[in-house]
Structure 1
Amino acid sequence: MANKKYTVMLGLLGLISTASFAQEVTTVETTTTTTTTTPVNLHKTYVGTDADNAWVYNSEMVKNADQQNRFVTDAYPYPAKPRNMWELSLGVGPSFLISSIDPTLGYGATFSLRKAVGHVFSIRPQYGFHIMYGHDYRARTSALSATPYLHNYRTNMHQGSLDLLASLNAISGYRGNSKVDWYLLAGYSFNSARVGVNVDGGQKLAGVTGSRSDIRSKVKDAFSSEDNPFLSLEDNKRYETIVLDRGDGSRSNAVGSEDRINRHGLNYGMGVAFKVSPRFNIGVEQKFTTVLNNSDILAGLAVQPQGRNATVSSTQLKFNFNLGSSARAIEPLWWVNPNNYVYSELKSTKPLPDADGDGVTDQFDLEPNTPAGCAVDTRGRSLDTDGDGVPDCRDKQVVTPNTWFPVDADGVGTDPCCNQAPVVVAADCAITSLPSVTFSGSSVNLSSGAESALANAASQLNANPNCKVKVVAYGSSNKRAQQLSWDRANVVRNYLVERQGISESRIIFQYGNDGNANAVDLYPTTEEGPSTVPAPFPHLQKS
């Protein structure tokens, strides 16, 4: 009978598997056709690698389309979570009950649905049906029989469970999507069983003697043979005594009818699945369920007032099918390595264009055609220390007094006292440019990058003792902005003096200028100026 059941179940699974592969082929063809006609405004997010046939999905395939739109426009750092398919699973395999009675292998079948919570965790409601047997080797008496008998039982169990599964190898930094899913499981189950004991046959077998293995062997032969010296055909085909959960005084916590034994249980186990295609995989799972509250009654032991808990062991061969449209969902997330997206982005990253080669990318360059060799500020504009309109790289008089304006094409002004051009003296400072530093938000703390830039500036100043440095901070819109500008200039000044050993007399302190409030620019100069000034609004001072 068992062989016929296995044959029927495997036949049905084969039909379902064939239908699944047919669905897969149809889906692939449909997807291919759709891809060629997809509008060009696809919101791309790669969750696979080229070798894994990376999924590319648009805003219809994510749960939060707004987040996805913000992500692709660089307004948000994280892509939206994609919709992913449910997994339907059909399982079949051996089952047995671990209890005070030696178990004999039975069989069971399961039906479940699994849904990913993330790339590691998933939830799975499951229904299972198990038929389990046990044959004792010790004669006993009980409320079932005052005459000694060998205890032989059959348990038919319905099991509804909810499990949390944790995939162990979904995430990796060294490969694409995994072809194998190793997972652990834990959860809760409600178990309802009907237990029958062959008391009549057990009484006939009570006189069997020998070792434990000899007795068990003879009992198994008796129950499997239609022609045996111990049981009649009628006895062999039934377990006639039904164990009650209440009514015989041994149990008082029944739920439902008397001949049903209902208990809560705790599930635990592990499994592995092997991907056959994006739609189908095959797995093997070992699951244990420790049934609570004197559950040795599941083995028909109805008279022990303090029975031990029994454990159901179920080994299942599982046939798993992904459900849903590939146009609206990707495969379950435990098959997808989220690091694939990061690595694909790193691989495709190219240097940003910088047409004039001044070190500021075209995206932020306010002077896209800076002459070669000219030092620039953080916005890509040629440095013009004296503001005469001639960049320092072409200015023969780098620091021209305002009273000598206007200047000629070489940046040389006219001394008003003599109404003649001054003699141009070559500047003693050989430094052409110094780096700038930036701050984030309203912070006055130097980042590691800023400290590195200031160390570089100090190195140049130490190599050119005739050079001074003008520290220029920006922010003039209100009192708070002016004070923040002073704070930032002061932090840069103090770092150069206290950490890099630059003399205070070589620093010219300026703040509150119009410009990028988050930047502090450093200019090489030979002019004179104050090395520090009082804070304009000390009550707003941060540093």
Structure 2
Amino acid sequence: MASKKYLLLGGAMLLAASTSFAQVTPVYDALDSTKVPASRQAQQNNFSNHQYDFPAKPRDMWELGFHGGLHVINGTVPARPGFGGGISLRKSLGHTFSVRAEYTGSFDKGQDYRLRPVITTGSSAWAATAAANGGMIVPNYKTATHQLSLDMIASLSNILFYKAQPKVNWYVFGGYSLGLIDVDVDALNGTTAYNYSGINFSGSRKDIRSQLKSLQDGDYESNAPSQGNRANIGRKSDNQLLRHGADFGTGVAFRVSKRFNIGVEEKYTMYFDDYLDGYSSPYTSHKDAFSYTSIRLNFNLGNPAKRVEPLWWINPLNYAYNELSAPRHMKLPTPVLPDADGDGVTDQFDREPNTPAGAPVDVHGVAKDTDGDGVPDFKDKQLITPTYCQPVDADGVGKCPDPECCKNIVAKTDCNSLVLPSASFKGNSTKISAENEAILSSVANTLRTSPSCNILVTGHAGAKGKKGGVDLSSRRVDAVIDYLADKQGIDRGRFIKQNTPGESSTVDLAPAN
């Protein structure tokens, strides 16, 4: 009997596992307050506002289950396969623990193959047959049971460190059972005693049971012997045993969808009574117990817009891992990169790491020198010094000739002594910025005073002339020449263009004579 029961259990688990391909990963957002009851909204609000570290527990669905399967009595009399079935309702207390109320109705039969001493406790059903067979009987029984259980269930496989959500849920349980148990025996052939003299009890069990089946009428007309209280509820008057018991067991459920799962469960119930099979052996104090192996079809009840799945199907670590991977709620500090001189260019890229505080710098962290007079802007008291007023003093101030004495003098400029500033461009821009306009206006003034000087306009194509750099450099050179010719009126014939490797963000101007 035990081998058949476990064969059935293994087959049921294989059937349930074959349906698990339809798994749909449940989604639970800890930031979704629509699934949090009003009584816990204060905690949820504090969590959302970073005033509390933990989200509120959401509403979750109830589980309605229907079950059926193999039911047997482990007792003195060998059992035949019986059947049980019923309904259950389960509600979570948290991600691990839940509580379940359950009804199970069952029918069990048993037939011994041995002659045993008569037991008359609480009943005289076997008296006539025992008298006809020298005080011996062959016990049998038919038991019908109504069982109510209240169990605490602990889920063992929903807290996962390496998967998002559980597809299989293993659990154990234990609790209290109340049984209304109707035990009857087939002790008489109609109204007369059975005579076992024609039974060959030295044969095989199968043969003995076959002979007994031919002898008995299968009416189960008598109340079985029993101890303790009875209730006037059963098939026969005063034939219902009312018993309190303890149950425990284990099971596994396979998630098919958000609304449905299939389970296999083994439940063992002990009523601490030796008469559940209608016979108590005088040779042992062993108590009878119920064994119930069932297939369970479970349905989740509740509005999915307001409730999540039962919490035993939700991995409580899922939110934490998702937040680590793609933060939505965490407060992340602003990255701080080292910038020793505070000029806005990090030390990693700063070519002049000791620039004074507040000094304007270029993209490389080098102090700007707008007029190219060799005095950086933060020291320069004459930000735009014409070239003809250079060289300048330590404050960047040039010494210009007195206008009154130079009205009619045409200055002759040594072209090789001209010092001209560079124009800087950002990114891939070729546009003349307002800053460059000031620089090029100064260059134009210099060129007007040196009409015999030609200018070499040099662009830089980047390191090793990288792809695209030559074209960008040429367009910047053209932009500088266009501005000086079109906006400042300098003759285009005075400019000579060239491109060389080097820093691609500047265009340099130098005398070409």
* TM range, smaller chain: 0.5 to 0.7
* Alignment partner, residue 229 of structure 2: 254
Amino acid corresponding to residue 312 of structure 2 in structure 1: W
CA gap 1:326/1:373 in 2 versus in 1, 3 angstroms: closer
The secondary structure found in structure 2 opposite 1:52 is coil
CA-to-aligned-CA distance 1:340-360 (integer Å, 9 cap, x gap): 101110110399474xx7449
Q: Shift of the alpha carbon at 1:243?
A: 2.2
Structure 1 contact 160–190 (Cα < 8 Å) conserved: yes
CA gap 1:61/1:211 in 2 versus in 1, 3 angstroms: farther
Matched, 1:308 2:271: no
User: Which of 75, 79, 89 is equivalent to 1:113?
Assistant: 89
* Alignment partner, residue 193 of structure 1: 181
User: Which of 189, 196, 200 is equivalent to 1:209?
Assistant: 200
User: Which of 270, 273, 286 is equivalent to 1:290?
Assistant: 270
- Higher relative contact order (CA closer than 8 Å, sequence separation 6+): 2
Structure 2 contact 199–211 (Cα < 8 Å) conserved: no
CA-to-aligned-CA distance 1:285-317 (integer Å, 9 cap, x gap): 11111221xx12111126969853111011111
Could you list the runs of 5+ residues in structure 2 that have no partner in the other structure?
1-22, 121-125, 233-237, 348-356, 366-377, 380-513
Amino acid corresponding to residue 84 of structure 2 in structure 1: G
User: Which of 270, 280, 285 is equivalent to 2:250?
Assistant: 270
Q: Shift of the alpha carbon at 1:203?
A: 2.4
* Alignment partner, residue 35 of structure 2: 61
* Alpha-carbon distance between aligned partners in 1 of 2:68 and 2:32, rounded to the nearest angstrom: 38
Q: Shift of the alpha carbon at 1:75?
A: 1.3
User: Which of 179, 183, 187 is equivalent to 2:171?
Assistant: 183
CA gap 1:142/1:352 in 2 versus in 1, 3 angstroms: closer
Structure 1 contact 177–336 (Cα < 8 Å) conserved: yes
The secondary structure found in structure 2 opposite 1:277 is coil
CA-to-aligned-CA distance 1:254-275 (integer Å, 9 cap, x gap): 1534421122212111111111
The secondary structure found in structure 1 opposite 2:114 is strand
CA gap 1:98/1:370 in 2 versus in 1, 3 angstroms: farther
* Alignment partner, residue 142 of structure 1: 119
Instruction: State the 4+ residue runs in structure 1 displaced beyond 6 angstroms.
Output: none
CA-to-aligned-CA distance 1:497-541 (integer Å, 9 cap, x gap): xxxxxxxxxxxxxxxxxxxxxxxxxxxxxxxxxxxxxxxxxxxxx
The secondary structure found in structure 2 opposite 1:75 is coil
* Alpha-carbon distance between aligned partners in 1 of 2:229 and 2:333, rounded to the nearest angstrom: 76
Q: Shift of the alpha carbon at 1:80?
A: 0.8
Structure 1 contact 135–216 (Cα < 8 Å) conserved: no
* Alignment partner, residue 240 of structure 1: 221
Amino acid corresponding to residue 157 of structure 1 in structure 2: T
Q: Shift of the alpha carbon at 1:84?
A: 0.8
Structure 1 contact 269–286 (Cα < 8 Å) conserved: yes
Amino acid corresponding to residue 229 of structure 2 in structure 1: A
* Alpha-carbon distance between aligned partners in 2 of 1:327 and 1:204, rounded to the nearest angstrom: 69
* Alignment partner, residue 523 of structure 1: none
Q: Shift of the alpha carbon at 1:52?
A: 2.1
Structure 1 contact 52–177 (Cα < 8 Å) conserved: yes
* Alignment partner, residue 476 of structure 1: none
Matched, 1:219 2:209: yes
* Alpha-carbon distance between aligned partners in 2 of 1:221 and 1:178, rounded to the nearest angstrom: 53
User: Which of 314, 318, 321 is equivalent to 1:343?
Assistant: 321
Matched, 1:319 2:307: no
Structure 2 contact 200–208 (Cα < 8 Å) conserved: no
* Alignment partner, residue 465 of structure 1: none
CA gap 1:217/1:318 in 2 versus in 1, 3 angstroms: farther
* Alignment partner, residue 309 of structure 2: 331
Q: How does 1:458-497 map to 2 (within 5 A)?
A: none
Q: Shift of the alpha carbon at 1:58?
A: 3.0
* Alpha-carbon distance between aligned partners in 2 of 1:320 and 1:282, rounded to the nearest angstrom: 6
* Alpha-carbon distance between aligned partners in 1 of 2:87 and 2:344, rounded to the nearest angstrom: 73
* Alpha-carbon distance between aligned partners in 1 of 2:221 and 2:297, rounded to the nearest angstrom: 36
Q: How does 1:121-132 map to 2 (within 5 A)?
A: 121-132=97-108
Q: Shift of the alpha carbon at 1:244?
A: 5.3
Tell me how many residue pairs correspond in the alignment. Answer: 316
* Alpha-carbon distance between aligned partners in 2 of 1:305 and 1:259, rounded to the nearest angstrom: 26
The secondary structure found in structure 1 opposite 2:100 is strand
* Alpha-carbon distance between aligned partners in 1 of 2:343 and 2:200, rounded to the nearest angstrom: 105
The secondary structure found in structure 1 opposite 2:90 is strand
* Alpha-carbon distance between aligned partners in 2 of 1:280 and 1:329, rounded to the nearest angstrom: 15
* Alpha-carbon distance between aligned partners in 2 of 1:221 and 1:359, rounded to the nearest angstrom: 94
Amino acid corresponding to residue 313 of structure 2 in structure 1: W
CA gap 1:199/1:370 in 2 versus in 1, 3 angstroms: farther
Higher Rg of the two aligned structures? 2
The secondary structure found in structure 1 opposite 2:194 is helix
Structure 1 contact 244–261 (Cα < 8 Å) conserved: no
* Alpha-carbon distance between aligned partners in 2 of 1:127 and 1:197, rounded to the nearest angstrom: 25
Structure 1 contact 124–162 (Cα < 8 Å) conserved: yes
Provide TM-score, normalisation by structure 1.
0.52
Q: Shift of the alpha carbon at 1:138?
A: 1.7
* Alpha-carbon distance between aligned partners in 1 of 2:275 and 2:24, rounded to the nearest angstrom: 54
* Alignment partner, residue 91 of structure 1: 67
Q: How does 1:431-442 map to 2 (within 5 A)?
A: none
Could you list the runs of 5+ residues in structure 1 that have no partner in the other structure?
1-49, 246-250, 361-368, 375-388, 395-408, 411-543
* Alpha-carbon distance between aligned partners in 2 of 1:330 and 1:118, rounded to the nearest angstrom: 12
Provide TM-score, normalisation by structure 2.
0.55
CA-to-aligned-CA distance 1:422-452 (integer Å, 9 cap, x gap): xxxxxxxxxxxxxxxxxxxxxxxxxxxxxxx
Amino acid corresponding to residue 122 of structure 1 in structure 2: S
* Alignment partner, residue 15 of structure 2: none
CA-to-aligned-CA distance 1:220-260 (integer Å, 9 cap, x gap): 5754xxxx3x23xxx22x20111254xxxxx3x31534421
Amino acid corresponding to residue 270 of structure 1 in structure 2: T
Structure 1 contact 95–132 (Cα < 8 Å) conserved: yes
* Alpha-carbon distance between aligned partners in 1 of 2:211 and 2:160, rounded to the nearest angstrom: 52
Query: Identical aligned pairs, as a percentage?
Result: 35
* Alpha-carbon distance between aligned partners in 1 of 2:61 and 2:83, rounded to the nearest angstrom: 30
* Alignment partner, residue 480 of structure 1: none
